[in-house]
Amino acid sequence: MSRTVVAFGKLTAKRAPRRGWSVDELERRRKADGEKPKIDRRLRAETTKTWGWLADRVAMGTVGYVAETLRKDNEF
């Protein structure tokens, strides 16, 4: 099994490569990268994963930051 699947699970592993990102690239990009909330939003809609799981797997920092970012994106 690839490092991507082990580290991020099958759902995230499907999303990151679409953008041409490896696991290392996902971790390297800043937490406020415009594509990361898109990954989080889709994972949140398709699964019952927690905010903490999303923050960890998509390398977006804290649980509060992820929740706030997605809430702000929904306002616009």
Q: What is the pLDDT of residues 7-60, one digit of tens each?
A: 455 555 566 656 667 778 878 889 888 888 888 888 888 888 888 888 888 888
CA 43 – CA 17 distance, rounded (Å): 15
CA 17 – CA 20 distance, rounded (Å): 5
> Are 4 and 16 within 8 A, CB to CB?
yes
Domain that holds residue 71: 3-75
3 or 54: which carries more pLDDT confidence?
Answer: 54
- Answering whether pTM is above 0.75, one says no
Provide the domain count of the chain. Answer: 1
